[in-house]
Chain A
Amino acid sequence: MNSAILAQVLVNGLLLGGLYAAIAAGFSLVWGVLNVVNMLHGSAVVLGAYAAFFGWQLGINPFLAALAIGPAIGLLGWVVQRFIVQRVIAAPVLITLVLTFALDLVLNNAMLAAFTADYRKMGSVTGLPPLMIGTVSIPADRLIAAVLGIVATFLVHLYLTRSRLGRAIVAVRMDQETARLMGVKVEHIYALTFGIGLALAGVAGCLIGAVFPISPLNSGGYLGVAFVACVLGGLGSVVGAIVGGLVLGVVESLGSMLIGAEYGVTVAAVLLILMLLWRPQGLLGRAGYD
């Protein structure tokens, strides 16, 4: 294989991986802390992407818009958790899965009705020429999107490790009962965590909308990305999600070159199942207690 092509494929994979990290981090956080697999996550990404798209039509830079859209979708997540998911929080896996799946049906169908299934794409956001390193070409918008994805994810990591509420989230993740005894209001932490998770999804949506065509039909694909990158990185670990996202991006990029782009999901899904069977603790090999 030509090394120039290989380098380009790797770079493409990393650019994709930055976005995947942002998708997976929020999902992983919610799963780790609440023990809820949030099937709504993919549609929240799509919602963020559409919000950014409509902002762009009004002349708002999607990278800046993410600052407002993220918190707005986070607020939606807070409400959904506080008033709906919280009711079944202690129920068996099957119940929370089915509930968030049902909520996903509602949100996705609403978006299909409102936005149609047609793919939409913003024009170039910054208008900058691609960055050239040797023969490798790096489109400016995609580079910015990937970097911002990792930055947003890392900010959540800092929040978890540095702030008081962040420590409370980590405490709940480690041991919910003890955290409660220490005076942590677990219900509030759950809602906050769900909100942060969806806020990250919304930010990821803005970044994806800035560089890729978007449609409500994509939500299942984003959810799959979240599954795989989360398991790769280790459940509940935000830093792990960055690693998982980057690895998944590179694997997908290589896979689509070697096997064909039409088998992208298969490559990712096989990777997921193998990881679950052989290294369920994730590539980093530790429980995700940031």
Chain B
Amino acid sequence: MHARLQGWVLPVAILVIGAIVAYGLPIALSNQTYLLRLATSLALLVTLASAWNLVGGFTGYPSFATAAFFGLGAYASAVMQQFGWSALTGYATAAICAALLSAPFGFAILRLKGHYFAIASLMLVSILKEVTTGWSNVTGGGMGINLPGAGGDPLAIARISLEILVMLAAFSVALSLVISRGWLGFGLSCIRMNETAALSAGIDAPRLKTIAFTISSAICGVAGAAYAGWIGYIDPSDVYDVMWSVRPIIAALIGGVGTVFGPVVGSLIYLVFEELMWRNLLTFGTGALGVLIAILVLVMPGGVLPSLRKGKVS
């Protein structure tokens, strides 16, 4: 009983710290637009990286579907709000839509391995992007959607978005900690190390993989909804940008794939780099980011590659 209680101390502590930061940070940064934006971006990236890590890290399936559920969540929430529902309903819809799509889709494609899985998951981004663009009487097509709340005080929106995303990030990390310590995390790590052996040991791999994928996607969906509320205007080429899939992966790679706090640290480091790139090299920003990512992947064998090899992602 004592050990059981102890297991909950850290996740609860993360949530409490998250709540304190979510309450305090927007007040501390109340008028500093730039820092507010940076902090919100960080919270968003931590959320996505932790969520990706459930599938890409714990389970060892290199998913590129983050952008798909991120975009789906953004649109689900935006469309609901356009029909006059509250932002909270929007978030709930985002989570439900992402979960409802990801459960069957994940169940199907999680049978694939390595590159095949990566490509199938990446294809979902293209599909949703095109369907969203084509279904213009609901989604506004390529014109995008202006969220109803977007007309308000920009600083107030920035502060609320920071609050929401910090709490979401804390939730995402705490959940990942709980999962890593529980039966689900145990099963997932068995699958990562040797799926055939896990199956023969009686672990229901398809079910566990689908659960992890669904939880991860639902979090990405809510993150997308929060992003839509923050930015106030979404269009398919923004929210279904493949970079939403890639940035969480890079963040997790920097910090340590498959660890609970790696994605948090990695997000911070990545964002600092990205910020420096964008500020100094506007026209070649994406290219410079590419150079940076390539260098990170090539020259971090000490921190990144061995831990991955041990877990054998492919």
Q: A residues near B, CB below 8 A?
A: 31, 35, 37, 84, 87-88, 91-95, 97-99, 101-106, 108-110, 113, 220, 224, 227, 231, 260, 262-266, 269-270, 272-273, 276-277, 280
A99 contact set on B, CB distance < 8 A: 293-294, 297-298
B114 contact set on A, CB distance < 8 A: 93
- For window 267-314 of B, CB contacts with A under 8 Å fall at 283-287, 289-294, 297-298, 305, 308-309, 312-314
A272 contact set on B, CB distance < 8 A: 119-120, 123
**Contact B287–A94 (Cβ < 8 Å):** no
CA distance A227 to B116 in the complex (A): 10
Chain A residue at minimal CB-CB distance from B285: A109
Q: B residues near A, CB below 8 A?
A: 56, 62, 64, 108-109, 111-112, 114-116, 118-120, 123-124, 126-127, 129-131, 133-134, 242, 246, 249-250, 253, 257, 283-287, 289-294, 297-298, 305, 308-309, 312-314
A103 contact set on B, CB distance < 8 A: 290, 294
Chain A residue at minimal CB-CB distance from B305: A91
Query: In the assembled complex, how far is the CB of residue A252 from the closest CB belonging to chain B, in whole angstroms?
Result: 13
Given known contacts A104-B290, A262-B130, A276 and B120 CB-to-CB distance under 8 angstroms: yes
**Contact A263–B134 (Cβ < 8 Å):** yes
Secondary structure dominating the interface of B: helix
A-B pairs with lowest CB-CB distance, top 8 = A105-B290, A109-B287, A92-B313, A102-B293, A106-B290, A269-B123, A102-B294, A94-B62
A224 contact set on B, CB distance < 8 A: 123, 126
A227 contact set on B, CB distance < 8 A: 119, 123
> What are 6 A-to-B residue pairs whose CB atoms are below 8 Å?
A31-B115, A93-B118, A94-B249, A95-B308, A97-B62, A106-B291
Chain A residue at minimal CB-CB distance from B311: A92
Query: In the assembled complex, how far is the CB of residue A194 from the closest CB belonging to chain B, in whole angstroms?
Result: 16
Query: In the assembled complex, how far is the CB of residue B203 from the closest CB belonging to chain A, in whole angstroms?
Result: 22
**Contact B293–A266 (Cβ < 8 Å):** no
Checking A94, A106, A263 against B308 with a beta-carbon cut-off of 8 angstroms, the contacting residue is A94
A269 contact set on B, CB distance < 8 A: 123-124, 126-127
